[in-house]
Structure 1
Amino acid sequence: MTTRLIVWRHGNTDWNAGHRVQGQTDVPLNDLGRRQAAEAAELLLTMRPDAIVASDLQRAADTAAALATRTGLTVSHDERLRERFFGSWQGLTMTEVASQRPLEFARWKAGKDVGGDVEDLDVMGKRVSDALQDAAALVPAGGTVVVATHGAAARQGLAHLLGWSREQNRTLRALQNCHWAELTYDEDRDWQLGAYNVGVFADRPVPPAV
Structure 2
Amino acid sequence: MTLLILWRHGQTAWNAGGRVQGQTDIPLSDLGVEQARAAAPRLAALTPTVLIASDLRRAADTQSALEALVGLPVRHDARLRERGFGDWEGLTHAEIGARWPESFARWKRGEPVVDAGVEEVDALSKRTATALQEAVDGAPDDAVIVAATHGAAARYATCALLGWPAEFAPTLGALHNCHSTHLLFDTVRGWQMLAHNVP
Same fold (TM over 0.5): yes
Which residue is 1:63 aligned to?
A: 62
Q: By how many angstroms is 1:104 displaced?
A: 1.0
* Match of residue 179 from structure 2: 179
- Residue equivalent to 2:96: 97
How do 1:153-192 and structure 2 match up within 5 A?
Answer: 153-192=153-192
Structure 1 residues 124-164: Cα deviation after superposition (integer angstroms, max 9, x where no partner): 00100001111223420111010000001110111111111
Instruction: Quote the offset at 1:167 in angstroms.
Output: 3.9
Structure 1's consecutive aligned runs of 4 or more residues displaced over 3 angstroms after TM superposition are none
Normalised by the length of structure 1, the TM-score is: 0.92
Matched residue, 1:18: 17
Q: What's the counterpart of residue 4 of structure 1?
A: 3
- Aligned equivalents of 1:52, 1:88: Cα separation in 2: 32
Structure 1 distance, partners of 2:65, 2:196, is 21
Q: Deviation at 1:165?
A: 1.6
> What does residue 147 of structure 1 align with?
147
Instruction: Determine the structure 1 residue equivalent to 2:30.
Output: 31
Please provide the CA RMSD for this pair. 0.9
Gaps of 5+ in 2: none
Q: For structure 1, which segment, 21-30 or 159-168, has the greater mean C-alpha deviation from structure 2 after superposition?
A: 159-168
TM-score using structure 2 length: 0.97
Q: Give the corresponding residue for 2:196.
A: 196
Structure 1 regions of 5+ residues with no counterpart? 200-210
2:54 and 2:158 mapped to 1: Cα distance? Answer: 15
Q: 1:79-99: CA deviations, max 9, x gaps?
A: 000000000000100110011
Deviations 1:23-78 (Å, cap 9, x if unpaired)?
00000000100000001101000000001000000000000010000000011000
Q: Contact 1:3/1:143 (CA < 8 Å) preserved in 2?
A: yes
Check conservation: 1:82, 1:153, Cα contact below 8 A.
yes
Distance 2:167 2:120 in 1: 16
Question: What amino acid maps onto 1:84 in structure 2?
Answer: R
SS in 2 for 1:170: helix
Letter in 2 for 1:197: N
Once residues 27 and 147 of structure 2 are traced to their aligned partners in structure 1, the CA distance between those partners, rounded to angstroms, is 18
* Partner SS for 1:171: helix
Deviates more, 1:48-57 or 1:128-137: 128-137
- Matched residues, percent identical? 53
Q: Assess if the C-alpha contact under 8 Å between 1:51 and 1:138 holds in 2.
A: no
